[in-house]
């Protein structure tokens, strides 16, 4: 590197350092710089105010055009913090006056702008110029005037028809607008519920989207059902007509038999009351009925058409027990009615019990041997049994030895 080039580089570095030091020393104390970019800055000049909520917090230092945008350099008093994401808006307090830059929103905590911060073009705004407003109004009037939409008087006709329709309807129009305003207010007050409903609807549609195949199949099935009903239209019409006639007949029957139906309903209420009162017994019947019906089905003999049952009402089939049971039953008769009659069976109870006990033992005289008073070799209790139950004769002149069917024969004493 040549000596002249080295000197040039050294001079440049010294100049930059001098400028930085000078800016640090000469910069107004207690301020920080912020740069904003605008599309245009009509009526904005160095020295104009920088404000927050209309209160001046700084000044415009420089306005520099950059071709398609304008850079505005501002100095803000360090006593005022500005949000790091604040917007910059050029405002005009009146039609003819200097404009100022409004920073918004007010700082209420969080990150704040630092020295050298920039506000990009998408966070700045400028007012609409009065010339632009006049130009837009002129274009609108031309579009609606004789050379535009009203070339054939259509706009005039619209105004005339509107005036005719609204004439005399001011109160109704006022009520309509008031109701619409109340409806909008109600929607605003219930916006949380409204948006909640929309979110639920979105969830529902998302769920439907996940089962799109099933929904499609359901729609196909519904279409098939609709086609089936279409094919059966005549039959359905006939069925509906018959149902209408039947309902008419039922209505006539009810009308003609109102009293009887009322009586039947009252009696049915009595029956249901009895059923309620006997619900415990009904529950018991329902518990045992299946087993009883099953037993009945098994007892049926299809070969002979009979119910093969066994009557066990007599208890034991032993003849002696049957005879003494009948005799003892006579001594156990209890008269339930309060009749003024003596109990004639009372004196027999003890006697019957004693006789039957000795008779069943075969030793009625209690001498330790089997009784055989006629000496025919047949115990007396067997002959008594045959006489009472009609047994057959045989054996030793007394006709003893009769038996009940199914019992083994009783042989005389000493018989082989």
Q: Is it the case that residue 38 has pLDDT exceeding 90?
A: yes
pLDDT score of 334: 45
Whole-prediction pTM value?
0.35
Answer yes or no: is 118 within a domain.
yes
Minimum mean pLDDT range among 100-104, 279-283, 293-297: 293-297
Give the rounded percent of residues in the chain with a pLDDT score beyond 70: 68
Q: pLDDT-derived band of residue 410, with 50, 70 and 90 as boundaries?
A: very low
Q: What is the mean pLDDT of residues 35-54?
A: 90
Q: What is the mean pLDDT of residues 253-277?
A: 87
Q: Which of 109-113, 311-315, 396-400 has the highest mean pLDDT?
A: 109-113
Answer yes or no: is 196 within a domain.
no
Of the candidates 30, 48, 53, 42, the one whose C-alpha atom is nearest the C-alpha of residue 106 is 53
What is the b/e burial string over 202-224, where b = at least 16 CB atoms within 10 angstroms of the residue's CB? eeeeeeeeeeeeeeeeeeeeeee
pLDDT score of 393: 45
Mean pLDDT score of the chain, rounded to an integer? Answer: 77
* Structural domain count, the chain: 2
**What are the phi and psi torsion angles at 302 (to 5°)?**
-70, -20
Domain boundary among 86, 114, 131: 131
Rounded to the nearest angstrom, the gap between the alpha carbon of residue 300 and the centroid of all alpha carbons in its chain is 52
Q: Is it the case that residue 319 has pLDDT exceeding 80?
A: no
Domain boundary among 104, 131, 158: 131
**What are the phi and psi torsion angles at 113 (to 5°)?**
-65, 145
pLDDT score of 74: 93
Answer yes or no: is 355 within a domain.
yes
What's the domain range around 371?
315-335+344-416
Answer yes or no: is 83 within a domain.
yes
Domain boundary among 88, 111, 131: 131
Angstrom distance (rounded) from CA 326 to CA 134: 132
Minimum mean pLDDT range among 73-82, 161-170, 325-334: 325-334
Q: Is it the case that residue 43 has pLDDT exceeding 80?
A: yes
Answer yes or no: is 77 within a domain.
yes
Answer yes or no: is 287 within a domain.
no
Residue 394 CB-density burial (10 A; 0-12 exposed, 13-18 middle, 19+ buried): middle
């Amino acid at each position: 590197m040549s000596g002249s080039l080295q000197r040039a580089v050294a001079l440049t570095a010294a100049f930059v350092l001098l400028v930085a030091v000078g800016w640090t020393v000469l910069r107004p104390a207690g301020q920080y710089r912020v740069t904003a970019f605008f599309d245009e800055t009509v009526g904005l000049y160095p020295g104009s105010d920088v404000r927050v909520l209309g209160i001046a917090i700084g000044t415009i230092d420089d306005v520099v055009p950059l071709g398609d945008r304008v850079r505005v350099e501002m100095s803000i008093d360090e006593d005022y913090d500005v949000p790091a994401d604040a917007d910059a808006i050029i405002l005009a307090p009146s039609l003819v006056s200097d404009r100022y830059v409004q920073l918004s929103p007010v700082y209420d905590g969080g990150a704040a702008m630092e020295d050298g911060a920039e506000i990009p073009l998408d966070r700045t705004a400028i007012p609409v110029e009065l010339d632009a407003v006049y130009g837009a109004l002129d274009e609108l009037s031309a579009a609606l005037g004789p050379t535009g939409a009203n070339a054939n008087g259509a706009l005039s006709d619209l105004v005339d028809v509107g005036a005719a329709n609204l004439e005399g309807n001011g109160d109704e129009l006022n009520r309509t607008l008031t109701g619409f305003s109340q409806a909008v207010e109600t929607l605003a007050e219930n916006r949380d519920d409204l948006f909640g409903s929309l979110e639920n609807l979105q969830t529902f549609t998302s769920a439907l989207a996940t089962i799109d195949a099933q929904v499609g199949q359901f729609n196909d099935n519904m279409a098939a059902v609709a086609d089936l009903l279409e094919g059966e239209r005549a039959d359905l019409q006939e069925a509906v007509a018959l149902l209408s006639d039947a309902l008419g007949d039922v209505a006539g029957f009810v009308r003609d038999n109102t009293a009887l139906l009322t009586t039947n309903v009252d009696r049915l209420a009595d029956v249901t009351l009895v059923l309620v009162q006997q619900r415990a017994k009904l529950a018991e019947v329902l518990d045992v009925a299946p087993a009883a019906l099953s037993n009945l089905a098994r007892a049926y003999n299809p070969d002979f058409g009979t119910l093969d049952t066994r009557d066990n009402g007599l208890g034991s089939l032993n003849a002696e027990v049957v005879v003494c049971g009948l005799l003892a039953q006579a001594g156990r008769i209890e008269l339930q009615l309060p009749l003024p009659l003596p109990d004639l069976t009372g004196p027999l109870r003890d006697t019957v019990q004693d006789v039957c006990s000795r008779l069943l033992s075969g030793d009625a005289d209690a001498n330790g041997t089997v009784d055989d008073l006629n000496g025919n070799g047949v115990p007396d209790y067997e002959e008594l049994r045959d006489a009472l139950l009609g047994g057959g004769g045989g054996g030793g002149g007394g006709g003893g030895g009769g038996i009940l069917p199914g019992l083994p024969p009783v042989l005389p004493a000493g018989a082989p």
